[in-house]
Amino acid sequence: MRNGEEVSARMGTVNQRGSSTYTFLGLAIIVVVVIATLSLFMRGDFMQKGPHPDMVAAEQAMAKHQWKQAIAKYDKSLKANPGNAEAYIGRSRAYVQLGDMNQALKDAVTAVEKKPSLALAYGQRGIVLKLQQKPDEAMKDFAAAVRLDPRYAWAYAQRADLFSRKNEQEKALADVNKAVASDPKFVSALRLRAWVLNRMGKCKEASEDFQKVEQLSPEDAWTLQDKAWFLMTCPDEQVQNPTKAMELAQKALKVASAQDGLIYETLAEAYFKQGDPLKAVEVQKKAIEMGSKKCPDGSCIKEMKDRLQKYEMTARQEVRTGYEILPFDSAK
For residue 322, the model assigns a pLDDT of: 74
Q: What is the CATH number of the domain that holds 178?
A: 1.25.40.10
Whole-prediction pTM value? 0.76
Q: For the segment 120-156, what is each residue's pLDDT rounded down to a tens digit?
A: 999 999 999 999 999 999 999 999 999 999 999 999 9
Q: Is residue 45 part of a domain?
A: no
Judge if 265 and 287 occupy the same domain. Answer: yes
Q: What is the CATH number of the domain that holds 243?
A: 1.25.40
For residue 332, the model assigns a pLDDT of: 66
Judge if 170 and 121 occupy the same domain. Answer: no
Judge if 210 and 242 occupy the same domain. Answer: no
The answer, yes or no, to whether residue 7 has pLDDT greater than 70, is no
Q: Average pLDDT of 248-269?
A: 92
Q: Is residue 323 part of a domain?
A: no
- Whole-angstrom Cα distance, residue 65 to residue 94? 9
The answer, yes or no, to whether residue 13 has pLDDT greater than 70, is no
Q: Is residue 47 part of a domain?
A: no
Total domain count for the chain?
A: 3
Judge if 177 and 267 occupy the same domain. Answer: no
329 pLDDT tier (thresholds 50, 70, 90): confident
Judge if 129 and 168 occupy the same domain. Answer: no
For residue 50, the model assigns a pLDDT of: 64
Find the domain containing 272 and state its range. Answer: 219-315
Q: For the segment 78-133, what is each residue's pLDDT rounded down to a tens digit?
A: 999 999 999 999 999 999 999 999 999 999 999 999 999 999 999 999 999 999 99
Judge if 81 and 68 occupy the same domain. Answer: yes
- Whole-angstrom Cα distance, residue 172 to residue 182? 16
- Whole-angstrom Cα distance, residue 59 to residue 57? 6
Phi-psi region of 75 (alpha: psi -120 to 50; beta: other; left: phi over 0): alpha
Q: For the segment 271-301, what is each residue's pLDDT rounded down to a tens digit?
A: 999 999 999 999 999 999 998 888 877 778 9
CB-CB neighbours of 262 under 10 Å = 22
Give percent of the chain with pLDDT exceeding 70: 84
Judge if 167 and 129 occupy the same domain. Answer: no
What's the first-to-final CA gap in the chain, in angstroms? 171
The answer, yes or no, to whether residue 73 has pLDDT greater than 90, is yes
Q: Average pLDDT of 206-232?
A: 93
Q: Average pLDDT of 233-257?
A: 92
Judge if 297 and 234 occupy the same domain. Answer: yes
Q: Is residue 31 part of a domain?
A: no
Which of 215, 233, 261 terminates a domain? The answer is 215
Q: Please, what is the Cα angle at 86 between 85 and 87, to 5 degrees?
A: 90
For residue 263, the model assigns a pLDDT of: 94
Q: Which of 22-36, 149-163, 175-189 has the lowest mean pLDDT?
A: 22-36
Q: Is residue 30 part of a domain?
A: no
Which of 150, 174, 191 terminates a domain? The answer is 150
Judge if 238 and 300 occupy the same domain. Answer: yes
Kindly write down the DSSP assignment for every residue of 3-70, as one continuous string.
HHHHHHHHHHHHHHHHHHHHHHHHHHHHHHHHHHHHHHHHHHHHHHHSPPHHHHHHHHHHHTT-HHHH
Which of 180, 198, 215 terminates a domain? The answer is 215
8-state DSSP, 39: H
Kindly write down the DSSP assignment for every residue of 282-332, as one continuous string.
HHHHHHHHH--TT-TTSHHHHHHHHHHHHHHHHHS-----SS--S-S-TT-
Judge if 130 and 166 occupy the same domain. Answer: no
Q: Is residue 28 part of a domain?
A: no
Judge if 274 and 195 occupy the same domain. Answer: no
The answer, yes or no, to whether residue 43 has pLDDT greater than 50, is no
CB-CB neighbours of 332 under 10 Å = 6
Q: Is residue 39 part of a domain?
A: no
Query: Taking all residues of the chain, what is their mean pLDDT, rounded to a whole number?
Result: 86
Q: Is residue 292 part of a domain?
A: yes
Q: Average pLDDT of 161-173?
A: 97
Judge if 175 and 89 occupy the same domain. Answer: no
- Whole-angstrom Cα distance, residue 278 to residue 227? 23
Give percent of the chain with pLDDT exceeding 90: 70
For residue 11, the model assigns a pLDDT of: 44
